[in-house]
């Protein structure tokens, strides 16, 4: 009887999840596809977003996300290595891990506020793509660091001891040997950061602003697709049609990136299979 | 022509007075202040294979780790005593880099790095020497030849080391030690995870290598001990501590008259 209830609950949860998933994405896809043309992707913003396209917004989104990932991946790898290297001091490591977990759960609006104070006002960068990128980098840094740290902790003890026995310096040990074992975690962390960056609105409202012109430098203001969707839906009467089209574009963008990531991950998995079978 | 000075004569005399290459004196090793080894002393002769045997938990592997100063990484392990080599106490010297390059360590399980076969040898060599790229390549080839791996891997040096078989991986790990020109290779049950064919190859290699290096082997395989050893040290527990029960050649140890029943059974197993 217990088994039947378990199986029934599992199937019910499965169907509920897929029903919600298809209802949301289906609504966006079918509404967004109405009057959708590829010129929407290549035209510029017009009439508060009711007309024209989103080319400048796509460019701003890609710049903000790419720069945020560039900064966060480098810092997260170095931070994770630093924590792993000093992990012998258990008390400090525990405090650092707790801080990372707390930062991961901090609402994005708080990061937006901090980003506004530090980057826009204190550093004088104003509402700009770079302020938005750096704020996003701060926001995704804890998750990426945690994932890479898990990867480093799972490096086999034999490999660590082998490196010590040969008197390899920490730089060689991490950047020439262990880095090969945590490629998957770096990729997973980057993809999670990417997903969070593309979906982020609150943190960017305070930092990158609403600019719609084609950015000529990182110091220009620019809005991302998620801010554009929010603006059209909340502030622009009659903007719903283009909001749906922009949402569809965002979903397509995430889908393409997921496909690329999955392909790279599959290549890593194939490498691991070779290791297992040989 | 080289001039023979007093210094040379003195050095030669000192060498003649010391038939032993490494002298281990009064080693005490404890885990969290719980003594495992107490006042362990023995000597190792140059270009010979000295094997340490004894039941599990008698601190054989820990002693090997102390030789390589791996125990420095574990704050719960305390080691005191002397490991003399070339008139220097390697247990207290601050030059750990020299200790680790002079005393190479081969682990129970083969642990090649997750890089190519070539890089497995090149990374430690680059780190510990200032050789040119060509010189490094020559050295790597000669080390692979020494362990009998060159013919098997010469066409796939850039392939991942994990693709090699267990026995080949262990020979690669031995070659990885050899690139640093060690004086002593510490082998901690190097064949425990290998099949009999790979095991025989490693044993053959040990005997071949002793012309170049001295080997200190820890094993639980009495058959292996009989096959490869020149000298044997038996570690035996007594009152929760370990003592050196016997030291000598294989025959001296195996057929010692005062061996008790347990020791005899263990050594002849």
Residues ≥6 apart with Cβ < 8 Å to B136: B122, B125, B126, B129
Of A3-17, A262-276, B97-111, least confident by mean pLDDT is A262-276
CA of residue B124 relative to chain centroid, distance: 18
CA distance A273 to A277: 6
B101 in helix, strand or coil? helix
Using an 8 Å CB-CB cutoff, list chain B residues near A90: none
Asked if A177's CB is within 8 angstroms of B123's CB, the reply is yes
Has residue B258 got a pLDDT over 80?
no
Distance CA B114, CA B223 (A): 33
Residue B259, pLDDT score: 65
Distance, in Å, from the CA atom of B144 to the CA atom of B156, rounded to the nearest integer, reads: 13
Can you tell me whether residue B247 is helix, strand or coil? strand
Quick one: pLDDT band at residue B257, thresholds 50, 70, 90? low
Residue A270 pLDDT level (bands cut at 50, 70, 90)? low
pLDDT digits (tens, 9 = 90+) for A209-226: 888 889 999 999 999 999
Shortest Cα distance from A48 to chain B (angstroms)?
55
B14 has pLDDT over 90: no
Q: Is residue A12 part of a domain?
A: no
Q: Which of A123-132, A161-170, A266-275, B146-155 has the highest mean pLDDT?
A: A123-132
Using the Cβ of A169 and the Cβ atoms of chain B, whether some distance falls under 8 Å is answered with: yes
Domain assignment present for A3: no
Cα maximum dimension of chain B: 61
Contacts of B180 in chain A (CB under 8 A): 166
pLDDT at site B217 = 94
Q: How many CB atoms lie within 10 A of CB B42?
A: 18
Domain boundaries along the sequence of chain B: 19-267
Q: Which residues of chain B make contact with A163, given a CB cutoff of 8 A?
A: 113
Which residues of chain A have a CB within 8 Å of the CB of B95? none
**Chain A partners within 8 Å of B115 (Cβ):** 176-177, 180
Q: What is the pLDDT of residue B126?
A: 92
Counting the structural domains of chain A, the total is 1
Q: Which residues of B touch A (CB under 8 A)?
A: 68, 70, 73, 75, 96-97, 100-101, 104-105, 107, 109, 111-115, 119, 123-124, 127-128, 160, 162-165, 173, 176-177, 180
Q: Which domain holds residue A181?
A: 20-277
A35 within some domain:
yes
Q: Do B107 and A161 touch (CB under 8 A)?
A: yes
Q: Calculate what percentage of chain A has a pLDDT beyond 70.
A: 96
Three-state DSSP string of A202-266: HHHHCCCCCCCCCCCCCCCCCCCHHHHHHHHHHCCCCCHHHHHHHHHHHHHHHHHHHHHHHHHHH
A85-94, A115-124, A236-245, B203-212: which is most confident: A115-124
Q: Domain for residue A41, yes or no?
A: yes
In terms of pLDDT, which residue wins out, B248 or A129?
A129
User: Would you say residue A278 has pLDDT above 50?
Assistant: no
CA distance B191 to chain A (A): 15
Residue of A nearest to B180 (CA): A166
Full strand arrangement of the beta sheet holding B77-85: B88-89, B77-85, B20-31, B34-45, B241-248, B231-238, B49-53, B214-218, B184-188, B103-106
Kindly state whether A216 is in contact with chain B, defined as any CB-CB distance less than 8 angstroms. no
Contact A242, A50 (CB under 8 A): yes
CATH classification of the domain holding A123: 1.10.3720.10
Query: Angle at CA B41, nearest 5°, toward B35 and B47?
Result: 130
For the record, the structure tokens of A244 come out as: 């749906």
Mutation for B interface: A154, A161, A166, most B CBs within 10 A? A166
Task: Please check whether residue A10 lies inside any domain of the structure.
Answer: no
The 3-state secondary structure of chain A, one letter per residue: CHHHHHHHHHHHHHHHHHHHHHHHHHHHHHHHHCCCCCHHHHCCEEHHHCEECCHHHHHHHHHHHHHHHHHHHHHHHHHHHHHHHCCCCHHHHHHHHHHHHHHHCCCHHHHHHHHHHHHHHHCCCCCCHHHHHHHHHHHHHHHHHHHHHHHHHCCCHHHHHHHHHCCCCHHHHHHHHHHHHCHHHHHHHHHHHHHHHHHCCHHHHCCCCCCCCCCCCCCCCCCCHHHHHHHHHHCCCCCHHHHHHHHHHHHHHHHHHHHHHHHHHHHHHHHHHHHHHC
Both ends of chain B: CA-CA distance in Å? 57
What is the average per-residue pLDDT within A82-106? 86
Q: Which fold has domain B19-267?
A: Rossmann fold (3.40.50)
ipTM of the complex: 0.82
Q: 3-class SS at B29?
A: strand
pLDDT in tens, B34-56: 888 888 888 898 889 999 998 88
Q: Is the pLDDT of residue B86 over 90?
A: no
Q: How confident is the model at residue B10 (pLDDT cuts 50, 70, 90)?
A: low
Under 8 Å between Cβ of A207 and A229? no
Alpha carbon distance A32, A23 (integer Å) = 14
Closest residue in A to B181 (Cα) is A166
Tell me the percentage of chain A whose pLDDT exceeds 90: 55
pLDDT at B5: 58
The interface residues of chain A toward chain B in range 75-134, judged by CB-CB distance below 8 A, are: 88
Q: Which chain A residues have a beta carbon less than 8 Å from that of B104?
A: 165
In whole angstroms, give the CA distance from residue A139 to residue A200: 10
- Rounded to a whole number of angstroms, the distance from the CA of A267 to the nearest CA of chain B is 15
CA nearest to A162 within chain B = B111
pLDDT (0 to 100) of residue B6? 59
Compute the average pLDDT of residues A191-202.
89
Using CA atoms, how far apart are residues B158 and B152, in angstroms rounded to an integer? 13
The larger pLDDT score, comparing residue A265 to residue B107, is at: B107
Per-residue pLDDT tens over the stretch A21-64: 999 999 999 998 887 888 899 988 888 888 888 999 999 999 99
A96 pLDDT band, cuts 50/70/90, is confident
Question: Would you say residue A11 lies in a domain?
Answer: no
Asked whether the beta carbons of B105 and B56 are under 8 A apart, the reply is no
- Among the ranges given (A18-27, B1-10, B159-168), the one the predictor scored with the smallest mean pLDDT: B1-10
Asked whether residue A110 is assigned to any structural domain, the reply reads yes
Q: How far apart are the first and last CA of chain A?
A: 45
Task: Please tell me which residue of chain A has the smallest CA distance to B74.
Answer: A88
pLDDT > 70? residue B11 = no
Q: How far is CA B156 from CA A120, B128, B132, B146, B163, in A?
A: 55, 25, 22, 18, 10
Task: Give the one of B97, B113, B165 whose C-beta lies nearest to A159's C-beta.
Answer: B113
Mean pLDDT confidence for B79-89: 86
d(CA A184, CA A191): 10
Residue A98 has pLDDT above 60, yes or no: yes
Number of CB pairs, chain A paired with chain B, less than 8 A apart: 67
A172–B contact, CB cutoff 8 A? yes
The more confidently predicted of residues A46 and A277 is: A46
- Contact of A179 with chain B, judged by CB distance below 8 Å, is answered with no
Residue A111 CA neighbour count, 13 Å, CB half: 26
A171 at interface of B, judged by CB pairs closer than 8 A: no
CA gap B252, B250 in Å, rounded: 6
Residue with more model confidence, B88 or B153: B153
Q: Could you tell me if residue A160 is inside a domain?
A: yes
- Reference B108, options B161, B69, B166; nearest CA is B166
Query: What phi, psi does A166 have (nearest 5°)?
Result: -95, 10
């Amino acid at each position: 009887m217990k088994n039947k209830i378990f199986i029934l609950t599992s199937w019910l949860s499965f169907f509920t999840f897929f029903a919600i998933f298809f209802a949301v994405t289906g609504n966006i896809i079918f509404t967004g596809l109405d009057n959708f043309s590829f010129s929407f992707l290549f035209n510029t913003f017009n009439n508060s977003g009711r007309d024209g396209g989103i080319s400048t917004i796509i460019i701003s989104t890609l710049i903000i996300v790419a720069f945020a990932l560039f900064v966060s991946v480098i810092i997260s790898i170095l931070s994770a290595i630093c924590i792993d290297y000093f992990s012998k001091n258990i008390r400090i490591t525990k405090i650092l891990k707790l801080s990372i977990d707390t930062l991961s759960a901090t609402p994005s609006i708080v990061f937006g506020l901090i980003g506004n104070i530090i980057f826009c006002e204190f550093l004088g960068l104003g509402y700009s793509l770079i302020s938005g990128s750096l704020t996003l980098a701060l926001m995704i840094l804890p998750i990426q660091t945690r994932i890479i740290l898990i990867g480093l902790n799972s490096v086999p003890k034999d490999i660590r001891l082998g490196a010590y026995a040969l008197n390899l310096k920490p730089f060689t040990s991490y950047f020439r040997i262990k880095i090969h074992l945590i490629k998957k975690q770096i990729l997973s962390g980057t993809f999670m950061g990417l997903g969070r960056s593309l979906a982020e609105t609150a943190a960017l409202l305070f930092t990158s602003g609403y600019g719609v012109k084609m950015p000529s430098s990182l110091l220009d203001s620019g809005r991302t697709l998620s801010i554009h969707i929010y603006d059209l839906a909340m502030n622009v009467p009659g903007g719903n049609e283009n909001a749906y089209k922009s949402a569809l574009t965002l979903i397509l963008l995430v889908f393409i990136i997921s496909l690329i990531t999955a392909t790279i991950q599959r290549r890593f998995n194939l490498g691991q299979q070779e290791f297992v079978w040989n | 022509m080289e001039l023979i000075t007093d210094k040379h004569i003195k050095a030669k005399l000192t060498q003649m007075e010391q038939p032993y290459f490494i002298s281990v004196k009064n080693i005490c090793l404890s885990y969290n202040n719980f003594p495992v080894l107490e006042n362990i002393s023995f000597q190792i002769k140059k270009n010979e294979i000295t094997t340490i045997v004894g039941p599990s938990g008698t601190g054989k592997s820990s002693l090997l780790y102390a030789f390589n100063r791996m125990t420095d990484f574990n704050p719960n392990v305390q080691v005191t005593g002397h490991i003399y080599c070339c008139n220097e106490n390697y247990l207290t010297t601050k030059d750990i880099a020299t200790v680790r390059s002079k005393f190479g360590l081969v682990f129970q399980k083969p642990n090649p790095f997750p890089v190519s076969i070539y890089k497995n040898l090149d990374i430690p060599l680059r780190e510990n020497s200032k050789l040119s790229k060509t010189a490094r390549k020559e050295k790597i080839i000669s080390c692979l030849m020494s362990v009998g791996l060159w013919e098997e891997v010469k066409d796939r040096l850039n392939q991942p080391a994990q693709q090699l078989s267990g026995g080949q991986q262990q020979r690669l790990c031995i070659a990885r030690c050899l690139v640093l020109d060690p004086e002593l290779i510490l082998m901690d049950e190097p064949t425990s995870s290998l099949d009999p064919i790979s095991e025989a190859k490693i044993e053959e290699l040990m005997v071949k290598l002793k012309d170049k290096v001295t080997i200190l082997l820890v094993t639980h395989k009495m058959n292996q001990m009989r096959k490869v050893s020149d000298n044997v040290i038996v570690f035996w527990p007594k009152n929760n501590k370990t003592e050196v029960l016997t030291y000598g050649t294989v025959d001296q140890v195996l057929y010692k008259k005062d061996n008790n029943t347990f020791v005899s059974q263990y050594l002849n197993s």
